[in-house]
Chain A
Amino acid sequence: MDDLSDLYQDIILSHNKHPHNEGELDPHTGEAEGFNPLCGDRLKVYLRQAEQGKGNVEAVTFTGEGCAISKASASIMTSAVKGLSADEIEAKVAEVVDLLTDQDEPEIDLMTMGDLAALAGVRKFPARIKCATLAWHALLAALKDEASVSTEAAKK
């Protein structure tokens, strides 16, 4: 496959067209907006725990306008982190950021990674990495119930 079809794999295009868990979450215990000032994209992530900051994450949803990459990444994220504890989520976000930005070619285990693996295609498009990380940074902010996070404030 060439780089472009790696980027726009069927999995990405299908998540873009039919995103999972799009919409506001009611009730929710945390929400945060991710903002990319370079392109103007905004994504809002909602999550529900037993209590704000306590217990595993029961559900995650997102709203907002974004490119195929940011939308698909958000959609994949909502399924990937459901049921995880805050610590597990932090580890998952680190794993995704590494997958996207680590110098070394990542090892991809389709069995454990599932649709997440499709995000690796973004690696060849440095200009698009922040599109892919946007939702994940917003998720971390939502866990802490911080109002917003900007891709330009985040290191990666």
Chain B
Amino acid sequence: MNIAAVRSDFPILSREVSGKPLVYLDNGATTQKPRAVIDKISHFFEYENSNIHRGVHYLSMDATDQYDRARVRLAKMINAPEEREVLFVRGTTEAINLVTSSYGTRLQQGDEILLTLMEHHANIVPWQLLAEKRGLVIQVAGITEKGELDLDDFAAKLNSRTKVAAFTHVSNALGTINPVKEMTRLAKEQGAMVLVDGAQAVPHLCVDVQDIGCDFYAFSSHKMFGPDGVGVLWGKEKLLSSMPPYQGGGDMIEQVSFEKTTFRGIPERFEAGTPNISGAIGLGAAVDYLNGIGHAEIESYEKELLDYAGAAMGEIEGLTIHGTAEDKVGVISFTLAGIHPHDIGTILDTEGVAIRAGHHCAQPLMDHLKVSGTARASFAFYNTTQEADSLVAAICKVQKMFA
């Protein structure tokens, strides 16, 4: 990978913060956007803007066509059997809420939902709301010392009452890559529906939903170099087609009268109202951009970067890395003895180093780790080993200030 060329694709990476070159290591929160995505969206608004599915005029047909082609790109990216199984939603959070609201109507009192200890709040709270409404029981699979899923515990907590297993592909707080294929197989043996939260997986890994075997796969555009406010819920055609609508409105209906309304098939049934058209098209451009670099290239470069940064940080006395799974992406969650993550974040910021400090929307995991929060450096393929050095130097400055 030509890192200099890649970096020049991302305009923001050449700016300064606090008078220092920006070292952006908060990719777990959101990723930066390549010129190709920014230009695609500007071009859309400058030359092509129109509503979709509604006009007989040229612009509307063109916008509809582009929106549909973005869907095709996303279906290909995750190897979905059919394009119409790809629903455009607001992001991972909405994708999961769509499933709990719509699929959730078939769950009954006493049914069990199996989650894991490393879930983001987005894959906890919607299930809790549903559980409260329908009298469901939430089970939680634990993790090991290294921050890997405890697969035995996961298997032990599955039973004939388990109707849903919902888990993250990659932990946003630990970087752990879960054995989602095996987890899906185990859950399916018990007849459970399987939802995988792919928010932190798609920016790093090549995802194949058919290979995983899950029923739903959710992710956000903004975490994979696309614009914010758009994302994808992929679901198996058979399931989606049998599910009631999530929101009602325009574009999702066949016939409306005040006596009875009939609904369209998928994906339209789940895309009520005018969607984020420019967002979906921008996301399509992000997929093209990633394909241009190649997932294999990205994975191997990021692995090098993670090994380098992990080793350098491991040398720092008083620094603990939380999450040392064998299989992990470029996320390094850490704490410094006697120094609160918030203070680390502020001091790093004055060195131009952007990281996240806090609970990472994973409070149950933080409680388990017995920390109030961690500092998290999360890498993308446009980061460099020099930036890892800057991070290490800035951490040493923190320690000096607090010595």
Chain A residues close to B by CB (< 8 Å): 2-4, 7-8, 13, 38-42, 65-69, 71, 125, 127-128, 131
Is A40's CB under 8 angstroms from B343's CB?
no
Using an 8 Å CB-CB cutoff, how does the interface string of B94-123 with A read, 1 for contact, 0 for none? Answer: 000000000000000000000000000000
The 10 closest A-B pairs by CB, nearest first: A67-B340, A67-B342, A40-B359, A39-B358, A65-B372, A4-B350, A68-B343, A67-B343, A40-B372, A40-B373
B366 contacts which chain A residues (CB < 8 A)?
A: 40
Using an 8 Å CB-CB cutoff, how does the interface string of B310-349 with A read, 1 for contact, 0 for none? Answer: 0000000000000000000000000000011111001100
Is A68's CB under 8 angstroms from B363's CB?
no
Instruction: Determine how close the nearest CB of chain B comes to the CB of A66; give it in whole angstroms.
Output: 7
Using an 8 Å CB-CB cutoff, how does the interface string of B354-391 with A read, 1 for contact, 0 for none? Answer: 00011100010010000011000000000000000000
B341 contacts which chain A residues (CB < 8 A)?
A: 39, 67
Instruction: Determine how close the nearest CB of chain A comes to the CB of B23; give it in whole angstroms.
Output: 16
Docked pose: A125 CA to B314 CA in angstroms: 30
Chain B facing A: main interface SS: helix
Instruction: Determine how close the nearest CB of chain A comes to the CB of B323; give it in whole angstroms.
Output: 18
Instruction: Determine how close the nearest CB of chain B comes to the CB of A43; give it in whole angstroms.
Output: 11
Docked pose: A43 CA to B255 CA in angstroms: 57
Instruction: Determine how close the nearest CB of chain B comes to the CB of A10; give it in whole angstroms.
Output: 11
Docked pose: A125 CA to B345 CA in angstroms: 12
- Given A13-B401, A39-B358, A40-B358, are A131 and B342 neighbors across the interface (CB < 8 Å)? yes
Is A7's CB under 8 angstroms from B346's CB?
yes
Docked pose: A69 CA to B344 CA in angstroms: 12
A131 contacts which chain B residues (CB < 8 A)?
A: 342
Is A125's CB under 8 angstroms from B346's CB?
yes
Docked pose: A131 CA to B358 CA in angstroms: 13
Which residue on chain B has the smallest CB distance to residue A3? B350
Instruction: Determine how close the nearest CB of chain A comes to the CB of B318; give it in whole angstroms.
Output: 15
Which of A3, A38, A68 is the most central at the interface, judged by chain B CB atoms within 10 Å of its CB?
A: A68
Is B47 located at the chain interface by the 8 A CB criterion? no
The total of chain B residues at the interface (CB under 8 A) is 17
Which residue on chain B has the smallest CB distance to residue A131? B342
Is B359's CB under 8 angstroms from A13's CB?
no
Is B402 located at the chain interface by the 8 A CB criterion? yes
Docked pose: A70 CA to B271 CA in angstroms: 45
A67 contacts which chain B residues (CB < 8 A)?
A: 340-343
Which of B340, B350, B359, B373 is the most central at the interface, judged by chain A CB atoms within 10 Å of its CB?
A: B340
B340 contacts which chain A residues (CB < 8 A)?
A: 65-68, 71
Is B346's CB under 8 angstroms from A127's CB?
yes
B343 contacts which chain A residues (CB < 8 A)?
A: 8, 67-69
Is B342's CB under 8 angstroms from A128's CB?
yes
A39 contacts which chain B residues (CB < 8 A)?
A: 341-342, 357-359, 372-373
Instruction: Determine how close the nearest CB of chain B comes to the CB of A16; give it in whole angstroms.
Output: 8
Docked pose: A68 CA to B401 CA in angstroms: 12
A66 contacts which chain B residues (CB < 8 A)?
A: 340, 372
Docked pose: A69 CA to B346 CA in angstroms: 11
Docked pose: A128 CA to B340 CA in angstroms: 13
Docked pose: A65 CA to B341 CA in angstroms: 11
Is B401's CB under 8 angstroms from A40's CB?
no
Docked pose: A4 CA to B347 CA in angstroms: 7
Which residue on chain B has the smallest CB distance to residue A4? B350
Which residue on chain B has the smallest CB distance to residue A7? B346
A41 contacts which chain B residues (CB < 8 A)?
A: 342, 372
Docked pose: A41 CA to B343 CA in angstroms: 13
Is B346's CB under 8 angstroms from A40's CB?
no
Docked pose: A41 CA to B347 CA in angstroms: 18
A128 contacts which chain B residues (CB < 8 A)?
A: 342, 346
Docked pose: A33 CA to B198 CA in angstroms: 36
Offer 10 A-B interface pairs, CB within 8 angstroms, sorted by A: A2-B350, A39-B373, A40-B359, A40-B363, A40-B372, A40-B373, A68-B339, A68-B340, A69-B342, A125-B346
Which residue on chain B has the smallest CB distance to residue A127? B346
A3 contacts which chain B residues (CB < 8 A)?
A: 350
Which residue on chain B has the smallest CB distance to residue A12? B343
B372 contacts which chain A residues (CB < 8 A)?
A: 39-42, 65-66
Which residue on chain A has the smallest CB distance to residue B340? A67
Which of A40, A41, A42 is the most central at the interface, judged by chain B CB atoms within 10 Å of its CB?
A: A40
Docked pose: A69 CA to B357 CA in angstroms: 14
Which residue on chain A has the smallest CB distance to residue B366? A40
Is A13's CB under 8 angstroms from B346's CB?
no
Taking a contact as CB atoms closer than 8 A, the residue among B357, B359, B402 that contacts A68 in the complex is B402
Docked pose: A31 CA to B401 CA in angstroms: 33
A69 contacts which chain B residues (CB < 8 A)?
A: 342-343
Is B402's CB under 8 angstroms from A13's CB?
yes
Docked pose: A134 CA to B30 CA in angstroms: 28
Task: Known A-B contacts: A2-B350, A39-B357, A66-B372. Give 16 more (CB < 8 A).
Answer: A3-B350, A4-B350, A7-B346, A8-B343, A13-B401, A13-B402, A39-B342, A39-B359, A39-B373, A40-B358, A40-B373, A41-B372, A65-B340, A65-B372, A67-B341, A68-B340
- Given A65-B372, A68-B340, are A38 and B350 neighbors across the interface (CB < 8 Å)? no
A65 contacts which chain B residues (CB < 8 A)?
A: 340, 372
B359 contacts which chain A residues (CB < 8 A)?
A: 39-40
